Structure formats: structure tokens, C-alpha cells
Amino acid sequence: MNKKINTVLFILCATLFNVFVAILSFVILMLLYIKLLFALIPEANRSWGFSVIFLASIAISFFVYRFILKYLLTKIDIEKYFDPLFVRKYKKNQVRNS
């Protein structure tokens, strides 16, 4: 496989992993909320739990994704296997001379 295919596959897998972690953390937090806190919170304030859990699951997935990505970048030489996403067409010297 070439570098472009590796880059596209990595982005797709990383996105699916991030969505999976967000859904998994949402389900776990929702189960904990229902089992532990639902009876303790007054009825008027129970609707806020869903919003807080949704935002917390997004934050958790972001931090897990960043942690795992940093770990992978220390183990994998990205220049060897992946193509850069954004490439400059011209160098600074060529732009200044024009």
C-alpha cells in the first residue's frame, strides 16, 4: 500500500475509533447515572443529566483519542508510512520572487 492509502485508512479508522469511544463512554456514564444518581436528583433537575453526560462523553473521547494518538506517534514513524494532508505548492522563496 502506498502512503496516500495509509493516510486515508488511518483517518477513517481513527474517526471510527473516536466515535466508538464516545458512544461507549456515553453508555457507561448513562448507566452509572441511572443506577447511582437518578434517585438522588430531584425530578425537576433530571433532564440536565443527559446534557452533562453527552458533553462528558465527547470530552472523554477527545482525551482518550489524544492520549492514544500521542502514544502511536511515538511508536510509528509517520513520515515513513503516511502522506502529509496539507502540502505547500510553493516555497516561500518562490512566492517572494513572483
Sort 1 into a burial class: Cβ within 10 Å, 0-12 / 13-18 / 19+: exposed
> Quick one: CA dihedral 3, 66, 74, 90, positive or negative?
positive
Is residue 32 a part of any domain in this protein? yes
What are φ and ψ of residue 55, in 5° steps?
A: -65, -40
Task: Answer yes or no: is 90 within a domain.
Answer: no
- Say what the pLDDT of residue 94 is: 55
Walking along the chain (98 residues) 10 residues at a time, the average pLDDT comes out as: 81 92 95 85 81 94 93 83 72 57
Q: Which residue range is the domain that position 70 belongs to?
A: 3-85
Domain assignment present for residue 93? The answer is no
Number of domains in the chain: 1
pTM: 0.74
Please check whether residue 54 is in contact with residue 26, taking contact to mean a CB–CB distance below 8 angstroms: yes
